[in-house]
């Protein structure tokens, strides 16, 4: 098949093309590895360098085009026609829209102009994203999903939403994101702490990601304050983007590392006595699939996880790992239990190659 894959260029603090990062890179890459001819078309919402390059994956072909409003000397409004011209030259069998609501709407529009099927990939609940507040976007987004020949969703609850609420008429299936287990695996704790400058004898709890009240970080900050009041050995380690409305506690035992390179996240996780996967009981929390859960489990770290959405299923064999979302006291009890008698969560973690088989089958079924 010839597949056109449309997505945004910046994703979770990374450049999809330059960093070859996570779901938005791995899905096209794995399909190319399975022999398909894939064009990845990335739009940056802010000026950056222009990319036009072929990545060696074999036996198929993976070509990336990364466009920027500044680099192409066009405004964002001209991008749909530019993308249409690129895709006409490529001649796809399927257009796949991914990464956010605007790209789902754009992908559906392009597929109709080209007269080919449209497929959508949802790595999150896109209606929770800031861009989805653009006037009139949500009805167009839901219509695009209803009309799509196939929709892949990061979690089963999100797939249920697309089927039951949006009324999708095509095939809808859950397709989680996953991790590189060559990167995320158990490592020596003392060495990991030395590399990051953490005290060796501390009881270290922590996390990495978007550290905002909206995503659920506040109970961790309050739980640390309660636990640290009674335990001078307790420390908190954090990495990621800080939410301006919810700063971390001002305490010398709070270690904020800023935005760590992806390759250093496993070092942080392997430094921890307990890792926290925080979520709130919001649409974002109910429909998301935090990759931190896989990253921490693969690293052999005891976990405290908010019992929301798919996390309630993923960790059902280790109920000690659960705390109730937005409940500081529940999180305090969970962390205490995991520090005293840690329970390790073990569940199968698929790799990208496995997931690509499911994705490929969904696209091939369109023509069956």
Give residue-wise pLDDT tens across range 252-285: 999 999 999 989 999 999 999 999 999 999 999 9
The domain that holds 26 is classified in CATH as: 3.40.50.2000
Q: Which residues of 233-248 are buried (b: 16+ CB within 10 A; e: fewer)?
A: ebbbbbbbebbeeeeb
- Based on the fold, state whether residues 159 and 208 are members of the same structural domain: no
Alpha-carbon gap, residue 238 to 242, rounded angstroms: 9
The answer to whether residue 319 sits within a structural domain is yes
121 found inside a domain: yes
Q: What is the tally of helices (H) and strands (E) in the chain?
A: 14, 16
Asked if residue 324 belongs to a domain, the reply is yes
Same domain, 35 and 160: yes
Q: In what order do the strands lie in the sheet with 118-122?
A: 51-55, 61-67, 37-43, 2-8, 94-98, 118-122, 150-153, 171-174
| 228 and 305 part of one domain | yes
Give the count of domains, the chain.
Answer: 2
Token pair recorded at residue 225: 């304050």
Q: Determine the pLDDT at residue 170.
A: 97
Q: Cis omega before residue 328 (within 30°)? A: no
Instruction: Please check whether residue 9 lies inside any domain of the structure.
Output: yes
Check whether residue 199 and residue 140 sit in a common domain: no
Residue 55's SS3 state is strand
Report residue 332 CA to chain centroid gap.
27
Whether residue 207 sits in one domain with residue 160: no
In this structure, the answer to whether residues 126 and 251 fall within a common structural domain is no
Q: Taking the CB of residue 109, how many other CB atoms lie within 10 A of it?
A: 18
Q: How far is CA 4 from CA 88, 255, 359, 361, in A?
A: 10, 43, 14, 16
Structural domain including 42 reads 2-177+352-365
**Element at 356 (helix H, strand E):** helix 352-365
Cα 60 from chain centre: 26
In a domain, 346, yes or no: no
Q: Rounded distance, CA 173 to CA 360, Å?
A: 12
- Residue 315 within a domain: yes
**How many alpha carbons fall within 13 Å on the CB side of residue 39?**
18
Residue ranges in the chain whose pLDDT is less than 50 = 72-73
Q: Do 115 and 234 sit in the same domain of this protein? A: no
- The answer to the question of residue 149 being in a domain is yes
Q: What is the model's pLDDT at position 75?
A: 60
**Whether residue 151 is found in the same domain as residue 257:** no
User: Are residues 131 and 275 part of one domain?
Assistant: no
State whether residue 171 is helix, strand or coil: strand
d(CA 364, CA 159): 19
Are 324 and 360 members of one domain? Answer: no
Q: Are residues 260 and 358 in the same domain?
A: no
247 and 125 share one domain: no
pLDDT of residue 13: 82
Q: What is the pLDDT of residue 70?
A: 58
Quick one: how far is CA 266 from the chain centroid? 16
151 located within any domain = yes
With 0-12 / 13-18 / 19 or more C-beta atoms within 10 angstroms meaning exposed / middle / buried, residue 217 is: buried
pTM for this entry: 0.92
């Amino acid at each position: 098949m010839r597949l056109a894959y449309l997505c945004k260029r910046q994703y979770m603090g990374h450049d999809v093309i330059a960093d070859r990062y996570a779901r938005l890179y791995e899905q096209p890459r794995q399909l190319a590895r399975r022999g398909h001819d894939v064009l990845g078309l990335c739009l940056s919402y802010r000026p950056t360098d222009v990319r036009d390059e072929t990545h060696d994956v074999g036996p198929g072909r993976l070509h990336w085009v990364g466009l920027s409003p500044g680099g192409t000397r066009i405004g964002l409004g001209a991008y749909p026609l530019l993308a249409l011209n690129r895709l006409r030259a490529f001649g796809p069998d399927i257009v796949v829209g991914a990464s956010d609501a605007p790209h789902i709407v754009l992908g559906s529009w392009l597929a109709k102009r080209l007269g080919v099927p449209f497929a959508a990939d949802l790595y999150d609940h896109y209606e929770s994203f800031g861009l989805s507040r653009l006037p009139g976007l949500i009805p167009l987004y839901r219509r695009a999903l209803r009309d799509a020949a196939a929709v892949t969703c990061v979690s089963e609850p999100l797939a249920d939403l697309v089927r039951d609420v949006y009324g999708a008429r095509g095939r809808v299936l859950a397709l989680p994101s996953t991790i590189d287990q060559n990167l995320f695996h158990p490592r020596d704790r003392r060495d990991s702490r030395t590399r990051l400058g953490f005290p060796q004898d501390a009881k270290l709890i922590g996390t990495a990601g978007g550290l905002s009240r909206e995503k659920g970080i506040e109970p961790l900050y309050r739980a640390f304050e309660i636990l640290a009041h009674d335990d001078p050995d307790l420390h908190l380690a954090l990495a990621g983007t800080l939410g301006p409305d919810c700063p971390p506690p001002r305490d010398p035992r709070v270690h904020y590392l800023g935005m760590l390179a992806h390759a250093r996240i496993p070092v942080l996780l392997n430094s921890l006595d307990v890792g926290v996967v925080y979520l709130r009981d919001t649409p974002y929390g109910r429909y998301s699939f935090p990759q931190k859960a896989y990253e921490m489990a693969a690293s052999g770290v005891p976990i405290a996880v908010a019992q929301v959405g798919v996390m309630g299923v993923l960790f059902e064999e280790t109920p000690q790992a659960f705390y109730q979302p937005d409940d500081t006291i529940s999180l305090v009890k969970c962390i205490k239990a995991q520090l005293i008698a840690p329970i390790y969560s073990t569940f199968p973690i698929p790799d990208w190659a496995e997931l690509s088989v499911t994705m490929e089958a969904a696209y091939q079924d369109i023509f069956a």
